[in-house]
Structure 1
Amino acid sequence: MVKTLVLVRHAKAANPEGVPDHERPLSEQGRRDAPEVGRWLQSAGTAPQVALVSSAARTQETFQLLAGELATAPEARFTDEAYYAGAGELLELIRSLPEDGPSAVVVAHNPGISSLANALDDGESTVEDTTRLRTGMPTSSLAMFRVSTEWSALDPGTARLTAFAVARG
């Protein structure tokens, strides 16, 4: 079964004085951009069934705003394990997804989300913006992959990048 994996870097966060990093909300720009991620997914015909979302306020808010633009919101799994997780830790979270889910979205942070996107790519993509992905994922960006294995068998170099976009509202 071919699966779809979408990796999303959270939208732009505010940096209010005295607010711990984990509790930082989205900025005004971030609140405009996050729904654009959902609109992009909806227009691409991508309907994730499950979402792995970092427990940080900015990732939860990004997910809620993007999910609000989808015909059906994915089942959300908020996890502390994705908060500033590295590529390997995020990959382990994806490997634990239920195998019957054909599509998933991960909303997390840099540098982990960018590192994972670059690690998963099999290098055979014809996506024009592959070079942009190599330089890192800016806020409100997404990398979509075709996965030809079970989630539990996902390894570096085993997914095909099918789209890369930076959503701005």
Structure 2
Amino acid sequence: MSRELLILRHAKSAWDTGARTDFERPLAKRGRKDAPRVGRWLNEQGLVPDYVVSSPAERAKQTVIAVCEQMGIGEEGIHWDSRIYHASSGALLDVLNECPPAAQRMMIAGHNPGLEILLQNLVSDDIPPPPDYKLMPTAAVAHLEILSSWHDLEGGLARLISLTRARSLTGV
């Protein structure tokens, strides 16, 4: 049985909040609107993950909590992993390799450029660039079919099913 991976980039963050560090930056108004919309869409599509891991950075945390809330997943069902913040594709792959073997659909939430590079590395085919050349803009979610176990996952062992941006979700 194949597995599925949802790669979620945090929603739009605010720069003018007085946050002392990049790690503490919260979501902007648009991000607070987009995150629940993505969660509702995932729920409507039947794409509820059975394992969720996220960066603990404030903007990622606010995003994944809002997304998961729309799917009936409480904060206690989210695993926080500091390795995801400022992670390379290799570090993100290490996180995925540690996913519980029983998980069939996993969601990882974090930041660019790591997530975008991870997506490109996992997918065996070239991904055509969008018109704006932003593969994973804020509040985007990539849905992949994984062609291996989590433990054995490596580059080229995934197939892109869809790439959805919050801005494209109308009426959700």
TM-score (norm 2): 0.89
Aligned equivalents of 2:124, 2:31: Cα separation in 1 = 31
| Structure 1 partner of 2:57 | 56
- Equivalent residue number for residue 67 of structure 1: 68
Q: Summarize the Cα distance change of 1:27–1:160 in structure 2 as closer, same or farther, 3 Å threshold.
A: same
| One-letter amino acid of the counterpart of residue 21, structure 1 | D
Distance in 2 between the 1:33 and 1:18 partners? 21
Q: Deviations over 1:16-43 (max 9, x none)?
A: 2352111111011100000111112112
Which segment is superposed worse, 12-21 or 146-155? 12-21
Q: Is the 8 A contact 1:40 1:167 kept in 2?
A: no
1:11 corresponds to? 11
> Given the superposition, is the C-alpha separation of residues 18 and 60 from structure 1 closer, same or farther in structure 2, using an over 3 Å criterion?
closer
Matches within 5 A, 1:98-109: 98-109=100-111
Q: Which runs of 4+ in 1 moved over 3 A?
A: 71-74
Match of residue 77, structure 1, among 76, 79, 87:
79
Counterparts of 1:1-169 in structure 2, within 5 Å, are 1-15=1-15, 16-73=17-74, 75-123=77-125, 130-132=128-130, 135-168=134-167
- Calculate the aligned-residue CA RMSD, in Å: 1.9
Number of aligned residue pairs: 165
**In structure 1, how many angstroms separate the alpha carbons of the residues matched to 2:163 and 2:62?**
21
The share of aligned pairs that are identical, in percent, is: 32
Separation in structure 1 between the aligned mates of residue 106 and residue 44 of structure 2, nearest angstrom? 16
Shift of 1:68: 1.1
Contact 1:24 1:57 in 2 (8 A): yes
Q: Secondary structure at the residue paired with 1:118?
A: helix
Question: With structure 1 as the length reference, what TM-score do the two structures score?
Answer: 0.91
Unaligned segments of structure 1, at least 5 residues: none
SS at match of 1:150: coil
